[in-house]
Chain A
Amino acid sequence: MKPFRLLCAVVATVVTVLGGSALFAGLTDNQGSPQPGGGNLAVDIFGSSGGLPMVRKDPIAVPLFINKGPGADQLGLSQKLADQVSEDMKMTGRFEVIDRALYVEGPNAGAAKGQFDFGDWSAISAEYLIKGEFTVDKDSLTTSIRLYHVPTKKMLVGKQYIGKVDDWYVMVHKFGNDVVYELTREKGIFGTKIAFVSAPIYGGDLAEIYVVDVDGRNLKRLTFMGGKAKDPTWSPDGAQLVFAWENTANPQDMQNYLYSVPVEGGTPKLLLSLKGLIVTPRFSPSGSRIALGISLAGNMQVYTVAATGGPPKRLTVSAAIDLFPVWSPSGEEIAFVSDRTGNPLIWKMKSDGSDIKQASFYGSYNQSPDWAHTPTGDKIVYSCRESGQFHILEMNPDGTDTTVITQGQNFGSCEYPNFSPDGRAVVMAIRDDRGRFLRLYNTDGSYTRLLTRIGADAKNPAWSPRLLN
């Protein structure tokens, strides 16, 4: 079953609006908060370091959820639900969750409007309040979650979710998406997944494809091929992953391969094999073609191949190393890495290979670009090696407004940035003396969290498209 269908089945019913319509009029300007990715992040390229960029966040309170069922909360859902809602709100980058130790509300307060006093929340300077209730009936869980705007005493979002108890966090993620949509009219990214590459045996010359929920749950190994899998890319419908594969278990095998594998698991399907290198495949936005780096006769160039396989079509014709192709959101252009001026930098061209132009102008070693539509327009992120380690840079597709988005973060060497579906965040591979691992990071610096444990030997992350309806 496809993941989004599974999630749809889990959350069988969504009853919208509890006791009032969603009121977001007058609040969608985010009460004066800066737009993520805004110009206030502009810093000198590789200039002086600083802390997290200052992004104003709205204080939000998320008290423990109220158990409305007849039985005791044996699963600890009251705290689990509230904690996951808090984490999701933090991840939006818009909210600062107020410490529960500061809450003054009494224990008998309810969640519906009229069952509690907004004054208890304005007293601790909460601008927003999320109240939740839940009922457990055997394996079934019903949750009701509400977002209030404290100064206006209005409910902005009120939703009820019904599903299995084990999928309590899916309900929270759906609520998170609903909150983001009500406040920004953009779809949220909760419930998405990250595909990545890791070695099943640390230090070996083997690598397999793994998938994990963006909240860190449901880590799953997808391939068991015994060679070296590389560079997974999601199909736009979120159902397939395509990846390059090298048969490192048999050094005599000079072929390289391109496979697809269902995200739900299954036998990988061979799309392409040839004597030469195959690297960095990337699905087109329509899902019909895959751009990739192919080396025939020792000349790495950008090609495309049909998503169902077939002969590759060459796009770049140069004496340079051309690889890491990535499509623009419209599918009309492709950015890629080329060393045609002597150093690997970001270039772009039309998707038929014409009109090649240099796109990045900073540093001398630019790698692994990604291109997404963000709240501030189309942006390209890429890794740039400077002073011995990689940083993540973001720029307009024409190379203007370049910003070091990991400036001063002391994350270690940051590589392989890959945009979230809303363009507000990236997942990146961190490399330091402890190994490689993955980190989530809002491009405006408003949120960051490790996705894999340190030293997990995780790399080549790829953020899925939205999977929750």
Chain B
Amino acid sequence: MNKYLVVLLAACAVFLLASCGPPDGYDAAKQAALNSQADAAANGAKDLCPTEWKAAEDTMAKAMAEDAAKDWKTAMADFQKAKELYDVAKLCAIKKKEAMNVPPPPPPPPPPPPAYVAAKVDPIFFDYNKYDIRKDQTAGMKATADKIKGTFSDRKFQLVGWCDIRGTEEYNLALGERRANTVYQYLVTAGVAAAKLEKKSGGATTKYSTDKTDAGYQLNRRVEFVDMGK
């Protein structure tokens, strides 16, 4: 008789145990709460909306405690409540992020085109009150012609004739023009296209030296080459 009683009791225990487990949908509710928790955390709810996040966390902790105590019914309700609170926290975080949203920085500007480097051509110097090419300038004149025909063949140049300040303004204008003209004629004879050259008189100047000495005056008696572009 004891033997049958033990079997019966065991069967009852199994039945009781079976009848006291989590209700239908419990696991889904719990998993949904965990998913919402992860989602809210991914959106930064903990930092952006700490109040909402804490409310959800507290409810989740309570549900987990109830789960451990197998208080299925209360735990399931709290899991559902925790999910809703996590969703609130997540939504709060998304709004905060949108509010803080600044336009993305503009794309970096394209690199500038390489800077135009003005052609540097050495000036031709003249004697006082003269406008012929003196002997010590002939090598420089030839080198200039070669440079303008070669390296700078794509450039146009303005030839500006200058004088020192010792003469009259009118005569110096004419003298500066003659100097520019002399250099122009040399270059054209040397094969530089006339269309690439423009003549101008600058007249008297102290642009290159203000020294009232022979050396200072010499620096101002010149034809300057001004790069006028391609």
Which residues from chain A sit less than 8 Å from chain B, CB to CB?
230-231, 254, 277, 279-280, 293, 295, 297-300, 321, 323-324, 337, 339, 343-344, 364-365, 367-368, 383, 385, 388, 415-416, 459
Contacts and interface: CB of A to CB of B under 8 A. Distances in A.
Interface stretch (B11-19, B80-88, B94-102, B164-172): B164-172
A316 to B, nearest CB: 13
Given A277-B201, A344-B129, A385 B166 contact: yes
B170 A230 contact: yes
Contact of A298 (B129, B170, B171, B180): B180
A233 B170 CA distance: 15
A298 B197 CA distance: 13
B48 interface: no
Given A298-B199, A365-B129, A279 B174 contact: yes
Contact of B167 (A279, A280, A385): A385
A386 to B, nearest CB: 12
Contacts of B224: none
B173 interface: yes
Contacts of A385: 166-167
Contact of B170 (A231, A254, A339): A231
Interface string B171-187: 10111011011001000
A295 B171 contact: no
Contact of B174 (A230, A277, A365, A383): A277
B181 A298 contact: yes
A321 B181 CA distance: 12
Given A277-B201, A298-B180, A367 B171 contact: yes
Closest 3 CB pairs of A and B: A298-B181, A300-B174, A279-B170
B177 A367 contact: no
Contacts of A298: 177-178, 180-181, 184, 199
A287 B21 CA distance: 131
A55 to B, nearest CB: 30
Nearest to A280: B170
Contacts of B201: 277
A398 B173 CA distance: 28
Given A277-B174, A295-B174, A415 B168 contact: yes
A344 B171 contact: yes
Interface string B188-207: 00000000000111000000
13 contacts: A254-B200, A279-B173, A298-B177, A298-B184, A298-B199, A300-B174, A321-B174, A324-B170, A344-B171, A367-B168, A368-B168, A368-B170, A388-B166
A410 B40 CA distance: 99
Given A298-B180, A344-B129, A323 B166 contact: no
B198 to A, nearest CB: 8
Nearest to B128: A365
Contacts of A299: 181
Contacts of A279: 170, 173-174
Given A298-B199, A385-B166, A277 B171 contact: no
B165 to A, nearest CB: 10
Given A293-B170, A295-B177, A321-B178, 12 more contacts: A230-B170, A277-B177, A279-B170, A295-B174, A298-B180, A300-B174, A321-B175, A324-B171, A337-B171, A343-B129, A367-B168, A385-B166
Interface in B63-110: none
B169 A230 contact: yes
Contacts of B177: 277, 295, 298, 300
Interface in B116-147: 129
A365 B129 CA distance: 9
B168 A277 contact: no
Contacts of A339: 129
Contacts of A321: 171, 174-175, 178
A300 B201 CA distance: 12
A321 B167 CA distance: 14
A365 B166 CA distance: 10
Contacts of B167: 365, 367, 385
B114 to A, nearest CB: 27
Contact of A323 (B171, B180, B200): B171
Nearest to A368: B168
Given A298-B199, A321-B178, A277 B173 contact: yes
Nearest to B176: A277
Query: Which of B129, B171, B200 lies at the interface centre, i.e. has the most chain A CB atoms within 10 A of its CB?
Result: B171
A344 B180 CA distance: 19
A388 B167 CA distance: 10
A19 B166 CA distance: 59
A34 B168 CA distance: 35
Nearest to B174: A300
Contacts of A367: 167-168, 170-171
Contacts of A388: 166
